[in-house]
Amino acid sequence: MQVIVSVLFGVLSTVIAGKCGAAQTTELIEAQEGDKVTLECCTDPPTDLKNYTLTCTRTDGNFSGSNQYVYSRRHGVENPQPQMEQYKNRTHLVLENLREGVLSLEISPVQTSDGGQYKCFIVTLKIPCHYTVTVNGKRNWTEVLVMTTASVEVTTNPDEGPKKPPGWIIAIVIAAAAVLVVVAIRVLWKLKNMRLCEKLRGRRDEEVPWEMENLRTKAAESDENVTGAANGQRNLQQ
């Protein structure tokens, strides 16, 4: 289980973060199209960068002058330099990290045109960080599943055979199944009682009109008998 979770986490992760760079090194960052890339540059010791001048630029040969700024910030104000059109509405500086002395610039979603050379510069402290970003095509989820399956197969010893789940997992499954069975029986029992009550109620509704009609018939016959007796008595008196 731990192997599967680790593989999925590594394959499906959408955040590719560059380590805190240094002046003499270049961080290599590989991403898939549509992912989020984070460029990070740190101070040592940590220094609050909230009001510092910060810039991130493209250093490829085709980018220069004003057409190189991915992001810029001066004395707490964003974008004092004109931002490149292709990065507008796709960059975000993590302000919470500035207090910890970390410049964290997120680019999302990443495009294939974002692949290239970058430089993040803490101008006030003269700390540069360099990156090389490689952007691959969109992730093929069929390949992801194949990679995950292959990784699991490689890490499994075929001689050991399939591993049984722990006993506590089996106990939980059995208990859950028992609870479901009990609930199902109670629901069916209630439904059966409800249907029986409906049938009895229907029979009562049918019997009541018949009894009323029977009572009316008896009352009418009684009235006729009384009327006949009265008429017979009048005839005798006459």
What's the rounded Cα separation, in Å, for the pair 141 and 143? 5
pLDDT(98) > 60: yes
Least confident stretch, 13-17, 76-80, 162-166, 196-200:
13-17
Question: CA angle, 38 as apex, 32 and 40 as ends, to 5°?
Answer: 145
pLDDT of 42 reads 93
What's the rounded Cα separation, in Å, for the pair 82 and 106? 18
CA distances from 145 to 30, 31, 108, 176 (A): 20, 18, 24, 30
Q: What is the mean pLDDT of residues 83-93?
A: 95
CB 39 within 8 A of CB 129: yes
pLDDT of 167 reads 78
pLDDT of 96 reads 95
Q: Identify the residue with better confidence: 195 or 73.
A: 73
Q: Where are the domains of the chain?
A: 2-154, 171-233
pLDDT of 211 reads 62
Provide the edge-to-edge strand list for the sheet that holds 91-93. Answer: 15-17, 36-42, 102-107, 91-93
pLDDT(11) > 70: no
pLDDT band at 225 (very low <50, low <70, confident <90, very high): low
* 3-class SS of residue 142: helix
| Helix (DSSP H) and strand (DSSP E) numbers for the chain | 4, 10
CB 93 within 8 A of CB 79: no
- pLDDT tens across 117-173, in order? 999 999 999 999 999 999 998 766 555 555 555 554 544 555 555 566 677 788 888
Per-residue tokens: 192: 């059966």
- pLDDT tens across 14-60, in order? 334 445 655 568 999 999 999 999 999 999 999 999 999 999 999 99
Report pTM.
0.53
Cα-atom radius of gyration of the chain, to the nearest Å? 42
Topology (CATH) of 2-154: Immunoglobulin-like (2.60.40)
pLDDT(106) > 90: yes
> Whole-number mean pLDDT of the chain?
78
pLDDT of 61 reads 81
